[in-house]
Structure 1
Amino acid sequence: MTTSNVNQREDTTAGESRGNRRRTNEEQLDAVFEVLADARRRRIIRILRTQDGDTVPVPALAQTLATREPTDPEPDQLVISLRHVHLPKLDATGVIEYTAERSQVRYCGPSLVERLLDQV
């Protein structure tokens, strides 16, 4: 193998590595857009942003959220929706930290989410 072939292989590997990283960033961006596409999740984030990084019990979050929902849902129904749908999705994208066992949630404040929410 000549030196030029070695360099060429290294360049290909570096390019493939950058491509994988780019796909990961694109997948992360898609996941953030997906969670922010839901109005309830945006309201959840806005509520948690006001907590200065403190943890919030899920029932308290549901109570606050109920006052901001357009349909005036029952807080108990919101707790179920939060625990089974919205909080796991937000946690999976790194927007929040959700501890199901303790029923606690904390906003992480990723800069991408901050920038996007400031635009909406």
Structure 2
Amino acid sequence: MTTSNANQHKRTTVEGVGGNRYEEGRVDAVFDVLSDARRRRVVRVLRDHGDATPVSDLAAALAVREPGEHEPERLTVSLRHVHLPKLEATGVVEMVDDGAAVRYGDAPLVETLLEQV
């Protein structure tokens, strides 16, 4: 029995902005996390704010930007349990103050992708 190279996973790198190199899995993870419109809005709000932002303030800012969503409390739950953990796992954001606030990670790869969508 022979094994096929098609089933073997190789770690490869891809060229990023300014000659930075990224592991291909990271690129895929960032694409995945930014595929959701709410997470893109989260990144843009945090990027514009600049400092660590309380999750409740982030939810209030999103409620203004999302049509039909006027309940910051529901957004806070969604952020804490779905969106922020995914963004944090890829290094796009950092939770601070024991999870009470969040800060954008200022990632060049994210910036490049956000310019395209």
Pairwise TM-score range, normalised by the shorter structure:
0.7 to 0.9
Structure 1 position 113 matched with structure 2 position 113:
no
1:57-87 deviation per Cα after TM superposition (whole angstroms, max 9, x unaligned): 0000000000001222410000000000000
Deviation of 1:26 (Å): 1.4
Please state if 1:58 is matched with 2:49: no
The code of the aligned residue for 2:69 comes to: D
**Residue in structure 1 matched with residue 11 of structure 2 by the alignment:** 20
Distance 1:32 1:102, change over 3 A: closer
Q: Which runs of 5+ in 2 are unaligned?
A: 1-9, 15-21
Distance in 2 (alpha carbons) for counterparts of 1:100 and 1:33:
27
* Bigger-Rg structure (1/2): 1
TM-score with structure 1 setting the length: 0.77
Count of aligned pairs: 101
Identity %: 53
- For structure 1, the residue ranges without an aligned partner over 5 or more in a row are 1-18
Of Structure 1 and Structure 2, the greater strand share is in 2
Aligned-residue Cα RMSD (Å) equals 1.8
Q: Which runs of 4+ in 1 moved over 2 A?
A: 19-24, 99-102
